Structure 1
């Protein structure tokens, strides 16, 4: 149960963070740097792998022997992603745009991060316009699920109804993800 709580907290940090990068920062890098396309594609592929690993992890029973292997891989990909961003992408972005533009991008990134989906959505495009179009409905569904899951953890009386309602929102999110327009912008594809 403690591992689930920690994973839940990490997810609520990782997915909004990545969504904001993909929506705000990487399009600027693609325009500003001659190799921006290649650089951002690599990080988008890492983000996609994180989404896929997390989705698989959520579907496994807590006692599954596959969980430690998935968690180890997830940890390795997240570390690689942080290194790529901090050592390569963000310094290159800083060098490509002026201070005012960088501050504006930071403010935009923070605004998007605070209002972004909080769960993995491996089917949605990692690039605009798909990710931008998916943001509002998925954010509403994800944050609704977050609230219901908190109710389920906090009250044994509400656990069943809250869990069922959360499952209904998860099913709705899965349908939203598969709407064709949510997948637009994925050129080149980030899936492996």
Structure 2
């Protein structure tokens, strides 16, 4: 599996979750979808920051600038996810936050799939890109499941903070009965 397949799969799942949110028949169903969105997008952002961005920063001609822009986008998404995560079922602000999140995510997905990752593949070659995909699959099981907008988003501090955040998130998820994906 190459490193475009893994995020593309995640992106299709998140797109389906947005459709599920709008099709939900109750506040309880919408809240369940929001919890899945928080989990999947938090994990996805953490994996990009831990695994993809360090390689892109060094391999792409303008990697530092591109990665910095992606990190700014991630920070905005994480702030929205944190707001959503704090809301109670049926909160009137949920629809607006989900709409904002969807817009931010759609733009990020388009750029990632059509420009950023294909450019990274061309820069590092298919073999290294396949290895990147395998690393993403392995890391999915241990990535943070909640947004941490104020946590470090670059190695080495990210490399130290992410496992601690992931363990904390999983304990909170279990205590709160959050869904596991």
Shift of the alpha carbon at 1:63?
A: 3.8
SS at match of 1:150: coil
SS at match of 2:150: coil
Partner Cα distance (1:75, 1:150) in 2: 25
The 8 Å contact of residues 47 and 139 in structure 2, kept in 1 or not, is answered as yes
**Please, what TM-score do these two structures have when normalized by structure 2?**
0.78
Partner Cα distance (1:89, 1:80) in 2: 12
Partner Cα distance (1:7, 1:96) in 2: 36
Shift of the alpha carbon at 1:17?
A: 1.5
Partner Cα distance (2:95, 2:34) in 1: 12
Larger mean CA deviation between 62-71 and 112-121 belongs to 62-71
SS at match of 1:3: helix
* Mapping of residues 134-149 of structure 1, within 5 Å: 134-149=161-176
Unpaired runs of at least 5, structure 2 = 1-27
What is the count of residue pairs matched by the alignment? 152
Partner Cα distance (2:167, 2:57) in 1: 29
Q: CA offsets per residue over residues 103-125 of structure 1, 9 Å max, x none?
A: 11111122222211000001112
1:35 matches 2:62: yes
* Mapping of residues 172-183 of structure 1, within 5 Å: none
Shift of the alpha carbon at 1:99?
A: 1.8
Larger mean CA deviation between 93-102 and 55-64 belongs to 55-64
Partner Cα distance (2:117, 2:37) in 1: 22
Partner Cα distance (1:28, 1:136) in 2: 20
Partner of 1:49: 76
- Aligned residue among 64, 68, 79 for 2:106: 79
1:14 matches 2:41: yes
SS at match of 1:127: coil
The 8 Å contact of residues 50 and 74 in structure 1, kept in 2 or not, is answered as yes
Partner Cα distance (2:93, 2:36) in 1: 21
Larger mean CA deviation between 109-118 and 53-62 belongs to 53-62
RMSD of aligned Cα (Å): 1.7
Answer 1 or 2: higher relative contact order, Cα 8 Å, separation at least 6: 2
